[in-house]
Chain A
Amino acid sequence: MPKRTDIESILIIGSGPIVIGQACEFDYSGTQACRVLKEEGFRVILANSNPATIMTDPDFADATYVEPLDVAVLEKIIEKEQPDAVLPTLGGQTGLNLAMELQEAGILDRLGVELIGADAEAIETAEDREKFKVAMLEIGLEVARSGIAHDMDEARRVVQQVGLPIIIRPAYILGGRGTGMAHTMEEFEKVAAYGIECSPIDEILIEESIAGWKEDELEVMRDNADNCVIICSIENFDPMGVHTGDSITVAPAQTLTDVEYQQMRDASFACIRRVGVETGGSNVQWAVHPDNGRQVIIEMNPRVSRSSALASKATGFPIAKIAAKLAVGYTLDEIPNDITKKTPASFEPSIDYVVTKIPRWAFEKFPGTSGVLGTSMQSVGEVMAIGRTFPESLQKALRSLEQGRHGLNGDAGEVAFDELDDASLLSAAAIATPDRPFQLEALLRRGVSIDKVYEATGVDPWFLDQMLMITEERAHLEEIGMAGINRRGWKRAKQLGFSDAQLAYLWKTDEATVRAGRLAEGVKTTFKTVDTCAAEFEATTPYHYSTYEDTDEVRPGENERVIILGSGPNRIGQGIEFDYCCVHASFALRDAGYETVMVNCNPETVSTDYDTSDRLYFEPLTYEDVMDVIASEDPLGVIVSLGGQTPLKLADRLPPELVLGTSPASIDLAEDREQWNALCARLEIPQPAGGTAVNIEQALEITARIDYPALVRPSYVLGGRAMEIVYDDDHLTRAMAELAGFGSLGKEGGLSAERPVLVDRFLEDATEVDVDAIRDHTGAKVIGAVMEHVEEAGVHSGDSACSIPPNRLSDETVAVIEDYTFKIADALKVKGLINVQYAVKANQVFVIEANPRASRTVPFVAKATGVPLAKVASRVMVGATLEELRVEGLLRDPVEGDHIAVKEAVLPFNRFPEADAVLGPEMRSTGEVMGIDLTPGLAFVKSQLSAGTQLPEAGTIFMSLADRDKAVGITAAEIFADLGFSIAATSGTAATLREAGIHVAVDVAKLDEVAGVDAVQLIQDGKVQMVINSPRGRGSRTDGEHIRSAAGLANVALLTTGAAAVAAANGMRDWQTHPLAVRSLQEYHAGVSASALGGS
């Protein structure tokens, strides 16, 4: 059946901010869908609140709404745009849930909009656990024994029937929030209650535990002619019990016989047919009993998922792109396979390599969390690696993680378990943690048998034996030494995935010696191609991976080549923003006639889509792997400054003549405290007083000179890793001890004269400002934007809201900031992007730091101003001047208009209930949203709504403020009172407010007080609609922690700074007095004047 002609316009709902469980994979899928549907001639309307995405580039849709993903807002968009259809299956769980809400609210019917891809009934059948179970039993599939409960009484009845151990799964949640296991009745009481809490419809599934079984997934596609195909099978390395998003997974499945595989395939087709997903991709998850092969269906996602993104990258089959085409009527046989060109998409990819995915976690960011993996997803990113065999892909994936490991042990990090005896190590490995693969290898190296390890951990003996091959090879390599190895030996070691760095460790030499020795024997990387067909047909798609085989398949380039180094796995502090920059560089340089070559190892991203660049190397971002790509490509140069710290850290070691843009020397200069101080002094730009220290004595000397509070931070890290504000000597001593220890930071480089700690006077209550600018090789410069932070200095810039244009800074101050930025850019001889951070206190501007690279704010600036900074910068890096780019039309002036854009951070505290939900100098947000409107208040409210904070329209606001926030607290409280809110406050705050003439209705008791209502009780009882609680700078935090934790659990809006309270108050006032209006980026970029603002 050909394309449908009865629909002309389609609304795509994106997945919003990056959160745990929903990351860049939905930018990848959404971007593909937008592209395809536009190519097919449909008018594409996109709604997504995340400005850091490629899909929200105005070029990718006809109308792009960077607006809150909320039913009322979507209703406005639909009313305005009148799409014929909504495609809900490409925006993750968020997109699916919103489509269901639109359907249930009758909005789609009222406005005559059709759901395509999956209809409401299909979505409900898949998502509602009871309906799903009934449906699966109906078609003869086995499910785990289970029952549904809506309250604790019902839950207790169900558990009697099912029997312990059990798993609790709340309905309608994403990424497994609130999911947990219980082995005892005590655990059951706790887990069940939390599960009911987490479900928006108060519903949990109580299920027979199948922990320890094997876990497999199949990626299914179906078209409207009922053709079904499997794109990829995936086997989990970790047995059942660990969320699949937190599991190491391997494609294709390794330990299923064909009989079992075909049984699973048939059943997966039966499942998608019964659920009723008419077109598109679905993911079906299976548990397999290792001793009798019993197959139990776990769940199916009636949409493109994280696993589909992985399957797409693992096979070369673009699931999202094909799903979009199927949704508009095509059948699989009508769509050509992009890679072979000649064969159709109605086939099942065959692969001739092994893919391993490993998640990346950020437990170090959340003190108090256990680091134990379970059924609720906690990872913030992932890497994928391709090798011809599992050992090769496993070792490549481990070094791709960038956590200081060079493979499966055989490196300095392996000593971590030396102190544990075999029994302790075995019981440690029995509990799934990020350390498990390393523990397994250590056990095997000690001679613990595979059977014993399998019994303790449930990791399949086949995987363990493959690991043992690595272990045995290592022993052999150590025994023969570098002198004893021949060509076949080199090749064998490399085929098992050993990195040069591991060999250097094992042979007690350096990496350069190993590399030179290996190349002298003629053993070098061969690049193979990902082609969907195991080489059966000729493929032109330039998607490569390295291995050590006989022949190389990379075709020589024709034009000048530029290598762009990507940003690796998502982590807190380095996420999708940097992928956006890399992708933009690729687009801009391709347009300018260069061949672009992308190197990255993150399967979720647009950068690792095979048609983003002229060639894609799916490779770890290590020195060795990057040098191999350079050798293969012979490029004009390498871009290191768009992918965050990952490529920047490599800049020093790459051939200097190949580093494009700002020189490595300048990058160092900006990071080196002494040189940087000298530069600021020479330019007469004020800095907060400070110094550098490599030990506690030096740090104490500095604070004696500059006084407290002081900001302590390591150099060369991103995202404020381990950054702290200290208020006294004790606090400083503790902070230094953490930094000096071989803790999580040690993995990232440790502490040394080259990497000292920076100790600076902390400017309390200063306004923080971020600037992005570009300078070209002639010295011409342009400001991208000056961004004013909502939260005061001290909150990490990545975690604070910020606004374009600034609304509190004077024009004079902005002029000073721009002038300083230009001076610094000149002094650093910047060629490309620079980001400078300032603190403004009492109209005096202090420079905090400068980074001559792309910053996290680049995409936000582009969406707010219409200026494609990353594209301009990438052209500047290869020699274009700003003047030339202006003539060409690439560099534009910021759009005229009266809009204000506010970026807000999205924090993962709901995943880490043990961690305190307070902002500080260490970045902890996973993603961001943008609110855009015609007043600062409206933009702020939209940003909050997008970030998941629904500001109340009436009710009670509970305020408990630190002394320094009390003054701004009065401003906020006055507005709240004006708007008709009643105010509750703790004693100190209440006194301040009453003194200012504000009525406080409820006195709330602090923990150690007797008088007044209990704060936590007040929140739990739902008597409070918003909590404003700012932490004390020093001393006990317990009080605030209880309040914040209660607000988090009760899902009550929580603001933790005085500045945010004022911004919210202003916003709530504007919100009450203006009707909700939605406008596309295309409208804003054409210029919208304040006169468009409706209301009173």
Chain B
Amino acid sequence: MGDIREYQLVLADGEIFEGEGIGADPTDGIASGEVVFNTVLSGYQEVITDPSYAGQIITFTYPHIGNCGVNATDDEANRPHCRGVIIRDLARRHSNWRAEDHLDGFLRGHGVAGIAGIDTRRLTRHIRDSGAMPGAFGTADAASLQAAAQADPGTAGMDLVSVVTTDEPYTIGTGPRKVVAYDLGVKTTMLRHLGEMATVTVVPADTPAVEVLAVNPDGVFLSNGPGDPEEAGSIVTELPKLIGEVPIFGICLGHQVLSLALGGKTFKMKFGHHGGNVPVQDSRTGKVEITSQNHNFAVEVGSVPNVTETHVCLNDGALEGLVHNELPVFSVQYHPEAGPGPHDSRYLFDEFAELIDTHAGNGSLSGISAAAPSEGSA
């Protein structure tokens, strides 16, 4: 017990929490970022490696984290992009046949700082009531930590996509179709699913539309990613050149930039949706999907012209999905690939495949309808 690093976590509004350091030592003794909470009960490794958390510190509401260790297969990116993790209790000893390392070693190895021993329920309630806000933790005194928290830019108005996107295009998957995927911060599980239906060329976020069209793709995919969609770079201005030319499927940030490109509005939510238990209803069938979600920004209900809003969050009425009324374009706010999370919505990848096939088959520009989708497979 000799090497306990006594830390404090201080939010921008001055709330102070006591804990102890885990993972890497923060650079300059202070880790800062926008503090959000995630309510998943399993899948901490996937959450920590999800690039959408760039700029953020992740609070896990479930108290025991690290029980299963970490393994190479479950990474959602080649390294974590989050600014830190806040947990109640880090497992000293993990136990799972798939484990290759323990979480603490993983965090240290990737330079991610963390704080444990926190009353995460108090913190979660505070964020729920006051909204997501920057925070800072480390060995520094409370005043320095608060100053650091206040100095943190948060995520609104931030272009974080350029930080996480791939530098060079690469190809993945062996499926029969040809898809170009914009990497706005893409998760590995997403590419695994796309790769089953298509041969996927993953391109940097700032790839011009003309270059995409030059390879004559069957479809274009817009990935998830971190930060404010209005600051996501050139993608919003490039997208209008692709819409109508080729079937498009967007997820999460991809859904948001697509909505902006179609003329919709986005806004920053109070504390967002981060978890694996969010009920979303498909308004065409009435069926409910339990979804995996991770977003702080959302598309305003009713703001996107000429689309049918196909999916709605039953918890708060947030817009979760839309289909263009004329063009082969659809998108969802949640994560059908689910890494981590329930597999209820994986049928959307099949719908993308069908949309591509229909589009290729009849040459028509309206491959997907606002009517009932095909039977999902779960």
A: which residues have CB within 8 A of B? 225-227, 229, 233, 252-262, 265-266, 269, 290-293, 331-333, 342-344, 346-354, 388-390, 450, 460-462, 465, 469, 476, 528, 533-538, 549-551, 553
How far apart are the CA atoms of A666 and B95 in the complex, in Å? 55
The answer to whether A352 and B63 touch across the interface, beta carbons within 8 angstroms, is: yes
Are the C-beta atoms of B61 and A352 separated by less than 8 Å? yes
CA distance in complex: A1073, B342 (Å): 63
A478 to B97, CA, bound (A): 36
Which applies to chain B's interface (DSSP): helix, strand, loop or mixed? loop
With A255-B68, A343-B315, A462-B67: A352-B120 Cβ-Cβ less than 8 Å: yes
Identify which of A349, A461, A533 gathers the most chain B CB atoms within 10 Å of its CB.
A533
* Cβ distance B68 to chain A, nearest Cβ, rounded Å: 5
Given A260-B98, A291-B97, 12 additional A-B pairs, CB 8 A: A229-B290, A254-B64, A290-B97, A331-B288, A333-B281, A349-B277, A350-B39, A350-B275, A350-B276, A352-B61, A450-B93, A465-B92
Contacts of A252 in B (CB 8 A): 41-42, 62
The distance in angstroms between the C-alpha atoms of A69 and B324, with both chains bound, is: 59
Taking each of A253, A343, A348, which has the highest tally of chain B beta carbons within 10 Å of its own beta carbon? A348
Known: A227-B288, A346-B314, A550-B119. A462 touches B341 (CB 8 A): no
A residues less than 8 Å from B18 (CB atoms): 550
Nearest A-chain residue to B73, judged by Cβ: A259
Whether B378 contacts A350 by the Cβ 8 Å rule is no
A-B contact pairs, 27 of them (CB 8 A): A225-B286, A229-B290, A233-B41, A255-B67, A256-B68, A258-B46, A258-B74, A259-B340, A262-B343, A266-B378, A292-B97, A343-B315, A343-B316, A344-B279, A347-B277, A347-B278, A350-B275, A354-B64, A388-B63, A533-B39, A534-B62, A534-B124, A536-B37, A536-B124, A536-B128, A550-B122, A551-B122
Measured CB to CB, the closest approach of chain A to B368, in angstroms, equals 23
A350 lies within 8 A of B40 (CB): yes
Closest A residue by C-beta to B6: A488
**Interface flags, B156-178, vs A, CB<8A=1, else 0:** 00000000000000000000000
A residues in contact with B98, CB < 8 Å: 257, 259-260, 293
Looking at chain A's contact residues, the main secondary structure is loop
Nearest-Cβ distance from residue A287 to partner chain B, whole angstroms:
14
Known: A291-B97, A333-B288. A535 touches B64 (CB 8 A): no
For residue B193, which residues in chain A have a CB less than 8 angstroms away from its CB?
Answer: none
B275 contacts A536, C-beta separation under 8 Å: yes
| A265 partner, pick from B71, B119, B128, B342, beta carbons under 8 A | B342
- Within the complex, the shortest CB–CB distance from B283 to chain A, in Å, comes to 11
Q: List which B42-101 residues lie within 8 A (CB) of chain A.
A: 42-43, 45-46, 61-64, 67-68, 71, 73-74, 88-89, 91-98
Chain B 307-321 interface mask (CB, 8 Å, partner A; 1/0)? 000000011100000
The reply to whether A350 and B41 contact each other, CB–CB distance below 8 Å, is yes
Which residues in B have their C-beta under 8 angstroms from that of A535?
Answer: 61, 121, 124-125, 128
Of listed B67, B96, B121, residue having the most chain A CB within 10 A:
B121
| Contact assessment for A255 and B96 in the assembled complex, using a CB-CB cutoff below 8 Å | yes
Q: Please measure, in the bound complex, the distance between the C-alpha atom of A140 and the C-alpha atom of B39, giving whole angstroms.
A: 31
Contact A261 B42 (CB under 8 A): yes
B88 CB contact (under 8 Å) in A255, A259, A388: A388
CA distance A390 to B125 in the complex (A): 22
A641 CB to closest chain B CB (Å) equals 36
Given contacts A266-B378, A333-B288, contact A346 B279 (CB under 8 A): yes
A342 to B128, CA, bound (A): 15
Q: In the complex, what distance in Å separates the CA atom of A550 from the CA atom of B88?
A: 12
A350 with B122: in contact, given A256-B96, A257-B98, A343-B314 (CB under 8 Å)?
A: no
Instruction: Answer whether A352 and B68 are a contact pair too, CB < 8 Å, given A258-B46, A265-B342, A333-B288.
Output: no
B338 at the interface (CB under 8 A from A): yes
- Tell me the smallest distance from the CB of A258 to a CB of chain B, in Å: 3
Residues of A with C-beta under 8 A to B277: 347-350
Q: Collect the chain B residues with CB atoms within 8 Å of residue A346's CB.
A: 279, 281, 288, 290, 314
**Known interface pairs A352-B121, A534-B124, A535-B125; A389-B42 also in contact (CB < 8 Å):** no
A210 vs B86: C-alpha distance when bound (angstroms): 38
Q: B97 contacts which chain A residues (CB < 8 A)?
A: 290-293
Fill in one digit per residue for B90-117: 1 if any A CB lies within 8 Å of its CB, else 0.
Answer: 0111111110000000000000000000
* Size category of the binding interface on chain B: 35 or more
Rounded to whole angstroms, the CA-CA distance of A460 and B96 in the bound complex is 9
Contacts of B347 in A (CB 8 A): none
Set of chain B residues within 8 Å of A347, measured between Cβ atoms: 277-279, 290, 314-315
Closest chain A residue, CB of each to CB of B271: A536
- Most chain A CB within 10 A, of B91, B278, B279, is at B279
- Are B89 and A389 neighbours in the complex by a CB distance under 8 Å? yes
Known: A350-B40, A350-B41, A534-B39. A258 touches B61 (CB 8 A): no
Residues of B within 8 A of A254 (CB): 64, 67
CB neighbours (8 Å) of A476 from chain B are 1
Bound complex: CA A233 to CA B276 (Å): 14
Q: Which residues of chain B have C-beta atoms less than 8 A from A537's C-beta? A: 128, 315
| Most B C-beta atoms less than 10 A away, residue of A293, A533, A535 | A535
Chain B hits for A258, CB < 8 A: 40, 42-43, 45-46, 74, 276, 339-341
- Taken together as a complex, chains A and B put the C-alpha atoms of A290 and B68 apart, in Å, by 12
User: Within 8 Å CB of B42, what residues of A?
Assistant: 252-253, 256-258, 261
Which of chain A's residues have a CB closer than 8 A to the CB of B46? 258
Q: Is B349 an interface residue (CB 8 A)?
A: no
Please tell me if the beta carbons of A549 and B315 are within 8 angstroms of each other in the complex. no
State in angstroms the CA–CA spacing of A254 and B96 once bound together. 10
Q: Which residues of A contact B275 (CB under 8 A)?
A: 350, 536
Would A528 and B121 be within 8 Å (CB), given that A233-B41, A292-B97 are in contact? yes
Interface residues of B in 4-23 (CB under 8 A from A): 17-18
Q: Identify the closest chain B residue to A262 (Cβ).
A: B343
> In the complex, how many angstroms separate the beta carbon of A49 from the nearest chain B beta carbon?
39
A333 touches B74 (CB 8 A): no
* Minimum Cβ distance to chain A for residue B80 (Å): 16
Complex CA distance for A535 and B1, rounded to whole angstroms: 31
Name the distance in Å between A527's Cβ and chain B's nearest Cβ.
11
Given contacts A388-B63, A536-B39, contact A549 B96 (CB under 8 A): no
**A462 close to B93 (CB less than 8 A):** yes
B121→A549 contact, CB < 8 A? yes
Cβ contacts under 8 Å, A389 to chain B: 63-64, 88-89
**Cβ-closest chain B residue relative to A348:** B277
Please, how many angstroms separate the alpha-carbon atoms of A354 and B67 in the complex?
13
CB-defined contacts of A450 to chain B, threshold 8 Å: 93
A350 touches B61 (CB 8 A): yes
Known contacts A227-B288, A535-B121; is A257 also within 8 Å of B62 by CB?
A: no
Contacts of A354 in B (CB 8 A): 63-64
A1046 and B95 CA atoms in complex are apart in Å by 49
Contacts of A292 in B (CB 8 A): 97
| Chain A residues positioned under 8 Å from B67 (CB to CB) | 254-255, 462
- Least CB distance, B187 to chain A, in whole angstroms: 13
Q: Return the contact of A549 from the options B71, B95, B122 (Cβ within 8 A).
A: B122
Q: Which of B41, B88, B124 contacts A351 (CB 8 A)?
A: B41
Hey, which chain A residues are within 8 Å of B287, CB to CB? 225-227
User: In the bound complex, what is the Cα–Cα distance between A494 and B325 (angstroms)?
Assistant: 60
Q: Cα distance A317–B74 when bound, in Å?
A: 30
Closest beta carbon of chain B to A853's beta carbon, Å: 38
Residues of chain A within 8 A of B39, CB atoms compared: 350, 352, 533-534, 536
Known: A536-B275, A537-B128, A550-B119. A255 touches B95 (CB 8 A): yes
- Residues in chain A near residue B124, CB distance under 8 A: 352, 534-536
- Which 10 pairs show the lowest CB-CB distances between chains A and B? A258-B43, A258-B340, A465-B93, A534-B61, A462-B95, A550-B119, A348-B277, A350-B39, A549-B119, A258-B42
Neighbouring A residues of B1 by C-beta, 8 Å: 476
- Tell me the complex Cα distance, A389–B316, Å: 30
List the A side residues contacting B338 at CB < 8 Å. Answer: 262
Task: State in angstroms the CA–CA spacing of A551 and B18 once bound together.
Answer: 12
A460 CB contacts on chain B under 8 angstroms: 95
